Chain A
Amino acid sequence: GAVVSQHPSWVICKSGTSVKIECRSLDFQATTMFWYRQFPKQSLMLMATSNEGSKATYEQGVEKDKFLINHASLTLSTLTVTSAHPEDSSFYICSARDSLRETQYFGPGTRLLVL
């Protein structure tokens, strides 16, 4: 399958700081990427859809000013958690859609811990 990378794999930060997470499609171009959040022993919850060259589409209940998404190229989307708080601690996973295969592939995830 196609390869999607995510960086960093884990991050610990102080409350009030901002954290940027990168998602890259390594061997295909992805006009559409997705950001999910997963709490322990729970399913993946879609946060937003990231479209290359346009504004992201956020799911209901997700604050766009808190979770900034930028998709500036066909292989890179970034999620910035602004003014992080302990309740933002979670496993953040991106996925990228391979339009040729019409399939989504997931990144390895980023574990965020806000102290």
Chain B
Amino acid sequence: GENVEQHPSTLSVQEGDSAVIKCTYSDSASNYFPWYKQELGKRPQLIIDIRSNVGEKKDQRIAVTLNKTAKHFSLHITETQPEDSAVYFCAAGPTNSGYALNFGKGTSLLVTP
């Protein structure tokens, strides 16, 4: 089945710096790669996603890149702010379970003022 690896597990940056989180996946059939932000005790919130026919997508301070040949995709957050502090999960799908997603283990991002 699909295996999604996510690095780093923790990331600490200073406010205003950029943050990059990387994920790799194993199933070449995967074609949908969303990123979720989860604050403590809350639901994961979709922040950006990319599909396999696109190499890069940007939404204000957030961008995602996809390299299908290498089977990896990355989340880039520029001009980080303290409110960006949260756990970020990458995911890949579809899976053998249909449209279900396989999630990475998460990256705990801390943005210090």
Known contacts A102-B32, A103-B49, A104-B34; is-contact A44 B44 (Cβ 8 Å): yes
Q: Point out the residues of chain B lying under 8 angstroms from A42, CB to CB.
A: 105-106
Other-chain residue from B34, B43, B46, B97 in contact with A109 (beta carbon distance below 8 A): B43
Contact indicator A57/B97 (Cβ below 8 Å): yes
Interface residues of A in 77-115 (CB under 8 A from B): 93, 97, 102-109, 111
Interface string of A67-84 (1 = CB under 8 A from B): 000000000000000000
Known contacts A49-B98, A104-B34; is-contact A43 B45 (Cβ 8 Å): no
Query: Is A19 in contact with chain B by the CB < 8 A criterion?
Result: no
Interface residues of B in 1-57 (CB under 8 A from A): 32, 34, 36, 41-46, 49
User: How many A-B contacts at CB < 8 Å in the complex?
Assistant: 52
Known contacts A1-B46, A32-B99, A105-B46; is-contact A43 B34 (Cβ 8 Å): no
Other-chain residue from B32, B42, B99, B100 in contact with A108 (beta carbon distance below 8 A): B42
Q: Point out the residues of chain B lying under 8 angstroms from A44, CB to CB.
A: 44, 89, 103
Contact indicator B99/A43 (Cβ below 8 Å): no
Q: Point out the residues of chain B lying under 8 angstroms from A93, CB to CB.
A: 43-44
Q: Which residue of A lies closest to B32 (CB)?
A: A102
Contact indicator B105/A43 (Cβ below 8 Å): yes
A sample of 20 cross-chain residue pairs with beta-carbon separation below 8 angstroms, ordered by A number, consists of A1-B45, A32-B98, A34-B99, A34-B101, A42-B105, A43-B89, A43-B104, A44-B89, A44-B103, A46-B101, A49-B100, A57-B97, A93-B43, A93-B44, A97-B99, A103-B34, A104-B34, A104-B101, A106-B45, A108-B43
